[in-house]
Structure 1
Amino acid sequence: MEHQSFNQQLLDFLHQSPTPWHAVQQMTRRLDAAGFVALEEADTWQLAPGQGYYVVRNGSSLVAFRSGRQAPETAGIRMVGAHSDSPCLKVKPNPELQRKGYLQLGVEVYGGVLLNPWFDRDLSLAGRVSVVDQDGKLSDVLVDFRKAVAYIPSLAIHLDREANNSRSINPQKDLPPVLMQVGEDEEVCFHDLLAEQVRREHPTLSFDRILGYEMSFYDAQPPAVVGLRDEFVASARLDNLLSCFIGLEALLAADGEQPSLFVCNDHEEVGSQSAEGAQGPFLASVVERWCGAEVMPRAISRSMMISADNAHGVHPNFADRHDENHGPLLNRGPVIKVNHNQRYATNSRSAALYRHLSDELGLPHQTFVVRSDMACGSTIGPITAGTLGVTTLDIGVPQWGMHSIRETAGVEDGVTLYRVLEAFMNRPQVN
Structure 2
Amino acid sequence: MELKHEFKNVWEEISKNGNMQEVLEYSKSYMDFLDKGKTERLSIKEIQRLATEKGYISLEEAMEKGNIKFGDKIYAINKDKAIALFLIGKNELEKGLKIVGGHIDSPRIDIKANPLYEEANLGFLKTHYYGGIKKYQWTTIPLAMHGVVILKDGKRVDICIGEDDSDPVFSITDLLVHLSADQMQKKLGEGISGESLNILIGHMPLEGEEKEAIEANILKLLNEKYEMTEEDFLSAEIQMVPAGKARDLGFDRSMILGYGHDDRVCSYAAVKSILDIDASDYTSVVLCVDKEEVGSQGNTGMQSRFFENTLAELIELEGNYSELKVRRSMANSKVLSADVSAGYDPNFADAYEKRNSAYMGRGLVLNKYTGVKGKAGCNDANAEFMAEVRRIFNKENVIWQTAELGKVDQGGGGTIAYILANYGAEVIDCGVSVLNMHAPYEIVSKADLYEMYKGYKAFLSVNL
TM-score by length of 1: 0.90
What does residue range 45-124 of structure 1 map to in structure 2 within 5 Å? 46-49=66-69, 50-74=71-95, 76-124=96-144
1:403 maps to: 438
Aligned residue number for residue 332 of structure 1: 362
Question: Does the 8 A contact of 1:157 with 1:163 survive in 2?
Answer: no
Q: Distance in 2 between matches of 1:141 and 1:62?
A: 22
Task: Give the structure 1 partner of residue 404 of structure 2.
Answer: 369
Q: Distance in 2 between matches of 1:46 and 1:229?
A: 53
Aligned mates of 2:381, 2:168 — CA distance in 1: 41
Partner in structure 2 of residue 143 of structure 1: 159
Matched, 1:198 2:226: yes
Structure 2 distance, partners of 1:244, 1:2, is 19
Residue of 203, 221, 226 corresponding to 1:181? 203
Which residue in the other structure is 2:420 paired with? 384
Alignment of 1:282-293 (within 5 A): 282-291=306-315, 292=321, 293=323
* 1:46 CA drift (Å): 2.8
Secondary structure at 1:215 match in 2? strand
Seen in structure 2, the aligned counterparts of structure 1 residues 222 and 158 have a Cα distance that, compared at 3 Å, is: same
Q: Distance in 2 between matches of 1:311 and 1:251?
A: 22
Deviation of residue 364 (structure 1)? Answer: 1.8
When residues 124 and 337 of structure 1 are mapped into structure 2, their CA distance, relative to the original with a 3 A threshold, is same
C-alpha displacement of 1:197: 4.0
Give the equivalent residue in structure 2 for 1:311: 341
Residue range with higher mean Cα deviation, 341-350 or 25-34 = 341-350
Q: Which residue in the other structure is 2:245 paired with? A: 222
Distance apart, 1:361 and its partner CA: 2.3
Tell me what 2:34 maps to: 14
Asked if the contact 1:64–1:262 (Cα under 8 Å) also holds between the matched residues in 2, the reply is yes
Q: Which residue of 2 aligns with 1:264?
A: 288
Letter in 1 for 2:138: W
Structure 2, unaligned runs of 5 or more: 1-20, 316-320, 370-374
Q: Cα offset for 1:68?
A: 2.2
Q: Deviation digits for residues 295-347 of structure 1, max 9, x if unmatched?
A: 22333343201111110001111112112311211111121113355513422
Q: For the aligned residues, what is the CA RMSD?
A: 2.5
Match of 2:458 in 1: 423
Q: Tell me, in whole angstroms, the C-alpha distance in 1 between the residues paired with 2:221 and 2:380.
A: 45
How far is the alpha carbon of 1:199 from its aligned partner? 6.4
CA distance, structure 2, for counterparts of residue 396 and residue 247 of structure 1: 10
Residues 383 and 197 (structure 1 numbering): CA distance in 2 closer, same or farther, change over 3 Å?
Answer: farther
**When the two structures are superposed, what TM-score results if normalisation uses the length of structure 2?**
0.84
Check whether the contact 1:191–1:210 (CA below 8 A) recurs between aligned residues. no
Instruction: Name the residue aligned to 1:299.
Output: 329
Report the secondary structure of 1:106's partner residue: strand
Deviations 1:251-309 (A, max 9, x none): 11120234111111111111111111111111111122222423223333432011111
- Looking at structure 1, the residues matched to 193 and 62 of structure 2 have their Cα atoms a distance apart, in angstroms, of 40
Task: Give the partner amino acid of 2:201.
Answer: L
- Give the corresponding residue for 1:153: 173
Cα distance between partner residues in 2 of 1:164 and 1:347: 47
Percent identity over the alignment is 24
Q: Write the distance in 2 (CA, Å) between the matches of 1:15 and 1:277.
A: 23
How much does 1:425 deviate? Answer: 1.3
Change (3 A) 1:104 1:335: same
Counterpart residue number, 2:6: none
Residue 413 (structure 1) aligns with: 448
What is the rounded CA distance, in whole Å, between the counterparts of 1:297 and 1:420 in structure 2? 27
For residue 83 of structure 2, give the secondary structure of its aligned residue in structure 1. Answer: strand
Alpha-carbon distance between aligned partners in 2 of 1:132 and 1:254, rounded to the nearest angstrom: 45
Report the CA distance between 1:238 and its aligned residue: 0.5
Of 301, 306, 326 in structure 2, the residue corresponding to residue 277 of structure 1 is 301
* Closer/same/farther in 2, CA of residues 148 and 114 from structure 1, 3 Å limit: farther
User: CA offset at residue 29 of structure 1?
Assistant: 0.6
Deviation by residue 1:125-165 (Cα, 9 ceiling, x = unmatched): 001221354xxxx3434321123421112211101135555
Instruction: Return the alpha-carbon distance in structure 2 between the equivalents of residues 354 and 428 of structure 1.
Output: 10
Asked whether the 8 Å contact 2:68–2:314 carries over to 1, the reply is no
Q: Aligned letter for 2:332?
A: R
SS at match of 1:317: helix
**Which structure's residues are more often helix, by fraction?**
2
Report the Cα distance in structure 2 between the residues aligned to 1:343 and 1:29, rounded to whole angstroms. Answer: 34
Partner of 1:120, secondary structure, is coil
Between stretches 369-378 and 28-37, larger displacement belongs to: 369-378
Asked whether the equivalents of residues 308 and 326 of structure 2 are also in contact (C-alpha less than 8 Å), the reply is no
Specify whether residues 333 and 214 from structure 1 end up closer, same or farther in structure 2 by C-alpha distance, changes over 3 A only: same
Aligned residue pairs: how many?
Answer: 416
1:241 alignment counterpart: 264
Counterparts of 1:169 and 1:87, CA distance in 2: 19
1:47: how far off?
Answer: 3.6
5+ long unaligned stretches in structure 1: 201-207
Distance 2:287 2:64 in 1: 21
